[in-house]
């Protein structure tokens, strides 16, 4: 049974240890993030189903079809699932657009599957999932070979920008990370009209949009 009581540091350590193992085997941090996203989606969809909620995935492309496999069967099935989901219509097809496997060694893919299997991710705090994702991004940004530092903005810097800029009502935020900016404004105790608490809670792990958001919050 998944242990949902793990501390943030323990979970971060576990996810990060797998990242290091995969990196040593030639799987870069960017590829790890991408594959982890796909695998977590399958796992959380399965967790939703066990709670009586509807599944978004077609039969044959679910966590239960993958998690018990090993060896080349695991890799083949994973690649089959990614291919089918990438060709799906609607939201699923968008999420898995051009999805391909980057973890070719069965033993390495099995390590990620087993790691994800140990916890209940759907019921996990949004901030914790965001922290895990951000930690890997931060490390990836420090890897000069990946060139990822150009798009990673540390939390401390975002928080400092919010404090220094102190945006006012009707001002526009044209910064590419404006959704994260909105999140930190909300965390600072101010409201952002047009964004529900649930939407704001998702901002830490939702890709920023290029659309400009009008900063209309009450202080």
Q: What is the pLDDT of residues 56-93, one digit of tens each?
A: 899 999 999 999 999 999 999 999 999 999 999 898 99
Q: Can you tell me the distance from the alpha carbon of 27 to that of 98, in angstroms, rounded to the nearest whole number?
A: 18
- Establish if 31 belongs to a structural domain: yes
Angle at Cα 114 formed by Cα 109 and Cα 118, nearest 5°? 150
Determine, yes or no, domain membership for 195.
yes
Domain boundary among 149, 179, 198: 149
Same domain, 104 and 18: yes
128 lies in the same domain as 101: yes
Higher pLDDT, 192 or 160: 160
The length of the chain in residues reads 219
Tokens of 114: 């087993």
Q: How confident is the model at residue 109 (pLDDT cuts 50, 70, 90)?
A: very high
Q: What is the pLDDT of residue 111?
A: 93
Please tell me whether residues 77 and 27 are part of one structural domain: yes
Q: Is residue 102 domain-resident?
A: yes
Domain-located, residue 59: yes
* pLDDT above 70: percentage of residues in the chain: 63
The reply to whether 1 falls in a domain is: no
Query: What are the residue ranges of helices labelled H in 2-125?
Result: 8-24, 29-50, 71-86, 90-95, 106-117
In this structure, the answer to whether residues 142 and 166 fall within a common structural domain is: no
Domain end call among 125, 149, 173: 149
Which element (helix H / strand E) includes 160?
helix 155-165
Q: Please indicate, yes or no, whether residues 124 and 190 belong to a single structural domain of this protein.
A: no
Regarding whether 132 and 170 lie in a shared domain, the answer is no
Which of the listed residues 122, 149, 176 is the one where a domain comes to its end? 149
Tell me, yes or no, whether 190 and 86 share the same domain.
no
Q: Identify the domain containing residue 19 by its residue range.
A: 8-149
18 & 123 share domain:
yes
Question: Same domain for 134 and 166?
Answer: no
Question: Rounded distance, CA 173 to CA 144, Å?
Answer: 29
64 part of a folded domain: yes
The secondary structure of the chain in percent helix, strand, coil, rounded to multiples of 5, reads 55, 5, 40
Q: Is the pTM of this model over 0.85?
A: no
**Residues 123, 67 within the same domain:** yes
- Report if residue 52 sits inside a domain: yes
Domain count, the chain: 2
Q: Which two tokens stand for residue 204?
A: 């830490």
User: Based on the domain organization, do 127 and 77 belong to the same domain?
Assistant: yes
Q: What are 136-190's pLDDT values in tens digits?
A: 777 666 665 555 555 566 767 777 877 777 777 666 655 445 555 555 555 555 5
Predicted confidence band of residue 215 (pLDDT cuts 50, 70, 90)? very low
Tell me if 158 sits within 8 A of 165, measured CB to CB. no
């Amino acid at each position: 049974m998944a242990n949902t009581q793990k501390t943030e540091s323990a979970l971060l350590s576990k996810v990060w240890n797998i990242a290091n193992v995969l990196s040593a085997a030639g799987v870069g941090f960017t590829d790890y993030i991408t594959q982890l996203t796909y695998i977590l989606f399958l796992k959380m969809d399965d967790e939703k189903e066990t709670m009586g909620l509807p599944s978004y995935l077609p039969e044959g492309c679910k966590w239960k079809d993958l998690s018990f496999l090993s060896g080349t069967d695991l890799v083949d099935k994973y690649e089959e699932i990614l291919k089918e989901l990438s060709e799906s219509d609607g939201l699923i097809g968008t999420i898995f657009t051009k999805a391909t496997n980057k973890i070719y060694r069965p033993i390495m893919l099995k390590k990620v599957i087993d790691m994800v299997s140990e916890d209940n991710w759907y019921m996990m705090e949004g901030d914790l999932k965001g922290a895990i994702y951000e930690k890997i991004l931060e490390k990836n940004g420090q890897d000069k070979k990946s060139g990822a530092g150009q798009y990673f903005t540390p939390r401390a810097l975002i928080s400092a920008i919010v404090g220094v800029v102190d945006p006012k009502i009707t001002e526009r935020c044209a910064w590419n990370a404006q959704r994260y900016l909105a999140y930190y404004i909300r965390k600072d105790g101010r409201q952002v009209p047009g964004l529900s608490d649930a939407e704001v809670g998702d901002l830490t792990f939702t890709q920023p949009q290029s659309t400009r958001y009008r900063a209309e919050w009450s202080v």
